[in-house]
A and B are shown apart, each in its own frame.
Chain A
Amino acid sequence: MAAAAVMAALCRRLTAALRLPGARPGSTAAGLAGLTLNLFHKNLAKVEPFHQLKFLHTTVPRKGLEEFFDDPRNWGEKTIKSGDAWNIKQLRGKSSEDLHKLWYVLLKEKNMLLTLEQESKRQLRPMPSPERLEKVEKSMKNVDLVVREREVALRLLQTGHEKPAPGEWRHDFLGRTYWYTYKEWPIPWYLNKKYKKRKFYYLPHVNHFIRLRLEKSLCRRARRKNLEKTRQKVLERKFPHLAVKSERQ
């Protein structure tokens, strides 16, 4: 009963909040409820980023400007509980419509947190639980990654190419290798004066500097690894009872 009430509240919040330009006119309450059930069923097991335990907002936000602010019961609190960020593995199982809706939900949550941050700066008060912002940013990045993956997969199936525009690996005059995407020009390259001035090759005297650059990157990598190792050793010496025993076996 409580779960159904929560579901209904969340459905209403979604319908009010997500008036997308591409929304299907035939999406009835039942259809939307079905989709939202799909989206939030997982959330009740694995919490979404702004899952607040005291939250049961039954009224629809008045004309939308209230969505820039948190639930009024959370105003003035020192800490606000929130769930973990969305993992890529969890997002890969969602449909594209669900991801589209989740993106907008996350966007609104980010706007709300940013207004809260700005207001706390104005009032010279600490922002309650600022880690929510990082969680939302991480979730949005993961959603973007999943959508990109799907786009690349679709393009591979349809055309056989990974990238939308063709290109190739080229050298620059400093010996660095980079991916050059072909551009559209009205004239061929041998009539393009500015393009002919660009050098996509390097002279033999640059080899010395390529070697130095390689040495520098290798030194940096080795230094980082050694630092990690020494830090691990220090921690193990300080807290021997917390050492990971399974790796040693």
Chain B
Amino acid sequence: MTKVDIKNYLEKIYNVPVAAVRTRIQYGANNKRNHKNQRVKKPDYKVAYVQLGQGQTFQFPNLFPEKEQDTETRSFDDFRNKYMEREKQRQKGDPRRGGVPDWFGL
């Protein structure tokens, strides 16, 4: 998509007033190697810098705000914690031995 294409796209389909568009092509690195020692390329992509018209501003929103957990997830977390505690208790040896493992004699 060229600069003109992007301008028309935003104006016609999204009804966003565009003042200017600048584009560049970001080169994807070719440094990583796979298990066969072949170079794996990350794809190249075009980046467009769009300046909005008519004195508009735009702030990229936070799409992953912290939300309070559901009752289901909370009960699942409780269950998981209880299970982990039970497993730890089972793995601990005799409390009278004071934390010394069973490997040692006596």
- The main secondary structure of chain B at its interface with chain A is loop
Q: Is the CB of B66 within 8 A of A64?
A: no
**Choice from B12, B58, B63 contacting A21 with Cβ under 8 Å:** B12
| CB interface residues, A 15-53, toward B, < 8 Å | 16-21
B13: CB under 8 A from chain A? Answer: yes
On whether the beta carbons of A116 and B16 are closer than 8 Å, the reply is no
Asked if A125 lies at the interface with its beta carbon under 8 angstroms from chain B, I say yes
Q: Are A69 and B63 in contact (CB under 8 A)?
A: yes
Question: Chain A contacts of B17 at CB under 8 A?
Answer: 63
Give CA–CA (A138, B85) in the complex, Å.
Answer: 47
Q: Does A202 contact B (CB under 8 A)?
A: no
Find out whether the CB atom of B63 lies under 8 angstroms from the CB atom of A19. no
**Contact in complex: B64, A75 (CB < 8 Å):** yes
A107 CB contact (under 8 Å) in B13, B61, B62, B65: B13
> Which residues of chain B in 36-76 are interfacial with respect to chain A, using CB atoms and an 8 Å cutoff?
52, 56, 58, 61-67
Please determine whether B64 and A63 come into contact, CB atoms closer than 8 angstroms: no
A123 to B13, CA, bound (A): 28
Give the shortest distance, in Å, between B76 (CB) and chain A (any CB). 12
In the complex the two chains form, what is the Cα distance from A67 to B16 in whole Å? 10
Asked whether, in the complex, the Cβ of A64 is within 8 Å of the Cβ of B64, the reply is no
Which of B13, B16, B62 has its CB near the most chain A CB atoms (within 10 A)?
Answer: B13
Closest partner residue, chain A, to B62 (CB atom): A75
B16 touches A64 (CB 8 A): yes
Residues of B within 8 A of A65 (CB): 14, 16, 52, 58
| A13 part of interface (Cβ distance < 8 Å) | no
Closest 3 CB pairs of A and B: A64-B14, A76-B67, A64-B15
Give me the interface of A with B, judged by CB distance under 8 Å: 16-21, 63-65, 67-70, 72, 75-77, 104, 107-108, 116, 119-120, 123, 125
